[in-house]
Structure 1
Amino acid sequence: MNKKVLLVIASMLMLILTACGDKDNQVDEAPEIIDVQLHVNETADVNEKLVLKATVTQGDEKVKDADEVIFEVWEDGNKDDSEMIVATNNDDGSYEAEKAFEHDGVYIVQVHVTARNMHSMPKTTVVVGDATLEDHHNAEDEEEEHDHSGH
């Protein structure tokens, strides 16, 4: 009787170990990250309607089902007064909104995309009217220039 019990226990242990071993051999591949291309003219006239466009892909696939696409726009150096503009889904992997700038200046356009449990936030600069890029002052750029070798 003891031999039968030992044989059953040994068989069960082998089954359990075999099942665990198969599970360890399976490797879950991480999904490809989303890629967001921001398409915005680099210059604009005052009060000109500028198209803000973002194209979202994941690998070779166009992401037509992003959870959220919002364009954030602010005048350079004044991010606290940014404007959030919800994009329209074009159902082809692209998302659009429009913005007209009321006066000369350098503006930052940043798109916030949430899709497939990932988030991406590329940004670009738009020079409006008689402003120049020399007027551009971005605190984030200055911070990147600091030496962080001691950290």
Structure 2
Amino acid sequence: MHKRSLVLLLLSVVLILAGCQDQQDAQDEPYIPEAPIEVQFGTDPETPHPAGQPLTLFVRVTQEGEGVEDADEVLFEIWREDSEHHGDQDGHSNGDAEHRDHQQSQQEEHQDGQDSPAGHGHPAMDGYETDHDMLEAEHAGDGLYQLEISFDEPGTYYVMYHVTARGYHDMVRHEIEIIE
């Protein structure tokens, strides 16, 4: 009887420890949502737009057709076209080449079984550096995030949105034209 109790006790301890290990393994796995976020960029009014007049930059963020109300971060990176080729005042480039390199490395990592699905952005802005203006958008509801801005000088400007939400990061550059 004593031997049987000891065997049952040892078996119980082994089962409890195995169950704890399964819970720890589940906690160590990163959460990757099944569906990526989708981001649509726009301006209101549409460009070309007169210099000195207010312009609203916006993104609509959705996942599986539903508006994302809980984005971690929505930023607009803005720079003039003529600063792209020559660098800005401090001699830094616009970061677009770094963005492409970073996005490519993120996709390569995913092919090795890490991070988010290839082609759907990357999970964070780690390693992405820029000296351009990074302006935070305000949440307006229904997955809409916006920023009102005016451009003092005519020219071509680049706007790259940076959206981090639900385990994904998406960033795409757009061109807008400001006229006199």
- TM-score bin (small chain): 0.5 to 0.7
Q: Larger relative CO (CA 8 A, sep 6+): 1 or 2?
A: 2
**Which residue pairs with 1:59 in the alignment?**
64
Number of aligned residue pairs: give it: 128
CA deviation string 1:98-151 (max 9, x = no partner): 111111110011111111121111221111115xxxxxxxxxxxxxxxxxxxxx
Is 1:78 the counterpart of 2:128? The answer is no
Is 1:116 the counterpart of 2:121? The answer is no
Structure 1 SS opposite 2:82: coil
Identity over aligned pairs, percent = 36
CA deviation string 1:67-107 (max 9, x = no partner): 11111111013154632221111122100101111111100
Is 1:94 the counterpart of 2:99? The answer is no
What's the offset of the Cα at 1:59? 1.2
Structure 2 SS opposite 1:122: strand
Q: Tell me how large the CA RMSD over aligned residues is.
A: 3.3
**Which residue pairs with 1:35 in the alignment?**
38
**Which structure 2 residue ranges, 5 or more long, are not aligned?**
1-5, 20-30, 89-130
Amino acid in structure 1 at the alignment position of 2:39: V
What's the offset of the Cα at 1:42? 3.0
Separation of aligned partners in 1, 2:59 and 2:173: 10
CA deviation string 1:46-71 (max 9, x = no partner): 11111101000111221001011111
Separation of aligned partners in 1, 2:165 and 2:155: 32
**Which structure 1 residue ranges, 5 or more long, are not aligned?**
20-28, 131-151
Is 1:49 the counterpart of 2:54? The answer is yes
Amino acid in structure 2 at the alignment position of 1:104: P
Is the contact made by 1:36 and 1:122 (CA closer than 8 Å) also made in structure 2? Answer: no
Deviant stretches of 4+, over 4 Å: none
Is the contact made by 2:137 and 2:145 (CA closer than 8 Å) also made in structure 1? Answer: yes
Separation of aligned partners in 1, 2:137 and 2:32: 28
What TM-score comes out, normalization by structure 2 length?
0.55
Aligned pairs for 1:133-144 (under 5 A) are: none
Is the contact made by 2:156 and 2:177 (CA closer than 8 Å) also made in structure 1? Answer: yes
Is the contact made by 1:48 and 1:101 (CA closer than 8 Å) also made in structure 2? Answer: yes
Is the contact made by 2:32 and 2:167 (CA closer than 8 Å) also made in structure 1? Answer: no
